[in-house]
Every structure is written in C-alpha cells, then in structure tokens.
C-alpha cells in the first residue's frame, strides 16, 4: 500500500468518526443526552485536576531546580506539618470527587434505564458474525418483520431493544443514540432507545468478535410516524413477483443455486435463516453488514466473491456464468 493511500485511509477513518452523527457528543435522544452530560462533567473535573497538577509541578520545579549539587537534608518540622496537611487534604478532595463521579454515574445509569411506555415497539437484535439480524416480533408469524442491519424506528417514541447473539459476544453501539450493550450468546437482555430528531444514525459492533469485527455496521433510521408505518406495511408484504424475463430467470438462478440454502425470500420457496432475509433487499441502502453500498456492481462483486471483500465470512463464493449473475442481480433489485 502506498503512503498516499494509507494517508487517504487514515483520513477516511477520521471522517467516519467525526462525520455527522457517528458521535456520542452529538446526542439524538434522551439517554444519549444523559450520557453526554456525564461525559462533560467528568471531562471538566479531570481538566481542572490536570491544570492543578501541572501548576504544582511547575512551582515545585521552579523552587528546587536552581542548585546543581545535592542539598543537605534540613530538619524543618513546621514544613513537614504543612506538607502532611496538604497531602491529607488532597487525598480527601480526591476521594470525595471520585465518590461524586460514582454517584453521578449511578444516577445517569438509572435515568438511561428508566424510560418506559405502555405500548412500546419491540425490536429483537441478534448479532451474527458479521451482520445484525433485525426482527420486529409479533404473536402472528405473518406480521413479523425480519430484516438486516437497517433498524427503522419512529421518531420521539421509546423503543425496546431485545438483544441476543447467534455465535460469539458482540456489542451494539450507536454512539448518538445509546451507550454500548453487549450481546451475549444464550442470554437475552433488554434496553430502551429513543431518538428525537429524524435521521440516520450509524452504529458499530464494539466488541472484538473475529476477523471481520471492523465490518459489522448497522444504522438506526428514525422517521416520522407515517413514514415508519408505510415502511412497516411494505416490509410485511411478500416479495414482489418478477415481471420481465431477466428477473424471472434471476429468481430461477436464486432458487437453483446455493443462495437458497442460506437466505429467505418470502413468497418463494427460500426460507433458510443462516444469512440475512432478502425479501426486501432492494429497500436497504447497504449490504454485507453495511460494508458495501447496495448498487449493481457491489451486489455482483459480493455474490461472486464475498471472501475477497470480507475474508472469513459465512458466504461461499458463487462463480456464476455472466448471464446468470446479471439475471440474479436484476431479480434482487426488484425486491422492493
Ligand atoms: Cu461483532 Cu465485533
């Protein structure tokens, strides 16, 4: 890799961290506001402690740095007593400050956990190596929505997030929405999120979970009630029937190759849940755990050789003939 491109990569990484809303200092909801408040309180306490320490060091070095040779030890009882007092007072102030920080952390934790609503929307998030399964459970199976990586929620409403993991420990983190939450295999946990401004808030896996941990992104799309309900209605429908010959051939390719062994497309025979549900793939902006944009080229590249893009992931290469690949991509792009 050339120096110029690694510099470019570093800049891109910098841009990701400071871009728009991928930032815990740009809170978008009540719990992230509370977390930001606590951050600034601790920041200013630490800043004051830093300045005081530096001033004390500067004074001490100014007083004692003048002579080169070792000074004789002078017995100074008055000075010793003053030093004991100063150190004792500093220890007491430090301990009290740490207790104050502990108290504020506990209060903030309680506030963040304490949201409630009588009829909340519930979303089940399951971590997979290396993507996020997103389910909107409903007692009626045909009213359950399953999608991947893109979490739609209504603005201004508390939403319950239930977490689980299908394999190893992951951590769900959308910095401008909530703190981190670990997803532990075999354990379910629940927490609330709420977003008060419409927008798309990116999130990441924040616990090292294997080779492609860095490529395990998701996004929270907060939209007004009407848009959210329209999205829900759309997602509940089975996959649209393909009309033109190319797309019909593409569905044939999907159902007769390895795709069908891992993916679901409602309304066809495909019902496996190893990989993401593709029923409404074309409505999603990104693919592959938000690694690639959902474009023709990226889709085709991902299908042909996913191991080159995300080595170690569960999807096998699919060396399709060019006509079959084109037809398959055309079909996938009809899945609105
Ligand atoms: Cu999943 Cu890191």
- pLDDT at residue 111 is higher than 90: no
Please tell me the predicted confidence (pLDDT) of residue 20: 47
Exposure string for 186-219, b = 16+ CB within 10 A, e = fewer: eeeeebbbbbeeebebbbbbbbebeebbebbbbb
In CATH terms, are 3-19+117-225 and 245-332 the same topology?
yes
Atom of ligand 1 at shortest range from CA of 214: 2
pLDDT digits (tens, 9 = 90+) for 298-332: 999 999 999 999 999 999 999 999 999 999 999 99
What pTM value is reported for the model?
0.83
Distance between CA atoms of 218 and 227, rounded to whole angstroms? 20
pLDDT for 95 beyond 50: yes
- In the predicted model, what is the mean pLDDT of the chain? 88
Residue 254: enclosing H or E segment and its boundaries? helix 245-256
Tell me: the pLDDT tens digits for 2-34? 444 555 555 555 545 544 467 888 888 888 899
Q: Which atom of ligand 1 is nearest to the CA of 208?
A: 2
Distance 208 CA to ligand 1 centre (A): 5
**Which CATH number applies to 245-332: 3.20.20.70, 3.30.360.10, 3.20.20.150, 2.60.40.420?**
2.60.40.420
Residue 73 in tokens: 């030890």
CATH of the structural domain 3-19+117-225, one choice from 3.30.360.10, 3.20.20.150, 2.60.40.420, 3.40.640.10: 2.60.40.420
* Model confidence at 223: pLDDT above 50: yes
> Strands 170-173, 292-293: parallel, antiparallel or unpaired by DSSP?
unpaired
| Distance from C-alpha of 181 to C-alpha of 159, rounded to nearest angstrom | 15
Provide the 3-class DSSP secondary structure of residue 201.
Answer: strand
Q: Which residue did the predictor score with more confidence, 245 or 14?
A: 245
Q: What is the average pLDDT across 49-78?
A: 78
Residue 6 pLDDT: 58
Question: Is 335 a pocket residue for ligand 1 (Cβ < 6 Å)?
Answer: no
Query: pLDDT per residue over 273-289, tens digit each?
Result: 899 999 999 999 999 99
Ligand 1 center–CA 82 separation, angstroms = 54
Give the domain ranges of the chain: 3-19+117-225, 245-332
289 Cβ inside 6 Å of ligand 1: no
Torsional class of 83: left (φ above 0), alpha (ψ -120 to 50), beta (otherwise): alpha
Q: What is the pLDDT of residues 118-167, one digit of tens each?
A: 778 999 999 999 999 999 998 888 899 999 999 999 999 999 999 999 99
């Amino acid at each position: 890799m050339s120096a110029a491109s690694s510099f470019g990569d570093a800049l891109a990484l910098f841009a990701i961290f400071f871009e728009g809303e991928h930032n815990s200092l740009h809170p978008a909801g009540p719990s992230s506001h509370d977390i930001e408040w606590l951050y600034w309180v601790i920041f200013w306490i630490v800043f004051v402690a830093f300045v005081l320490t530096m001033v004390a060091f500067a004074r001490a070095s100014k007083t004692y740095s003048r002579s080169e040779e070792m000074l004789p030890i002078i017995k100074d009882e008055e000075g010793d007593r003053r030093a004991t007092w100063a150190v004792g007072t500093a220890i007491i102030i430090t301990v009290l400050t740490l207790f104050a920080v502990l108290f504020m952390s506990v209060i903030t934790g309680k506030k963040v956990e304490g949201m409630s609503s009588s009829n909340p929307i519930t979303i089940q998030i399951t971590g997979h190596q290396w993507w996020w399964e997103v389910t909107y459970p409903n007692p009626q199976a045909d009213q359950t929505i399953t999608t991947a990586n893109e979490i739609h929620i209504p603005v201004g409403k508390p939403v319950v997030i239930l977490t689980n993991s299908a394999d190893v420990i992951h951590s769900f983190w959308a910095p401008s929405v909530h703190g981190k939450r670990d997803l532990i295999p075999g354990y379910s946990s629940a927490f609330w999120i709420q977003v008060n401004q419409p927008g798309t808030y990116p999130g990441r896996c924040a616990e090292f979970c294997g080779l492609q941990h860095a490529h395990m992104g998701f996004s929270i799309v907060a939209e007004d009630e009407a848009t959210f309900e329209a999205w829900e209605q759309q997602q509940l429908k089975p996959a649209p029937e393909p009309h033109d010959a190319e797309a019909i051939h593409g569905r044939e390719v999907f159902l007769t190759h390895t795709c069908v062994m891992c993916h679901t497309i409602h309304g066809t025979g495909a019902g496996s849940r190893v990989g993401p549900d593709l029923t409404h793939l074309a409505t999603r902006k990104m693919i592959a755990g938000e690694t690639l944009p959902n474009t023709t080229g990226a889709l085709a590249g991902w299908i042909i050789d996913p191991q080159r893009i995300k080595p170690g992931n569960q999807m096998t290469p699919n060396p399709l003939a060019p006509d079959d690949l084109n037809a398959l991509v055309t079909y996938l792009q009809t899945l609105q």
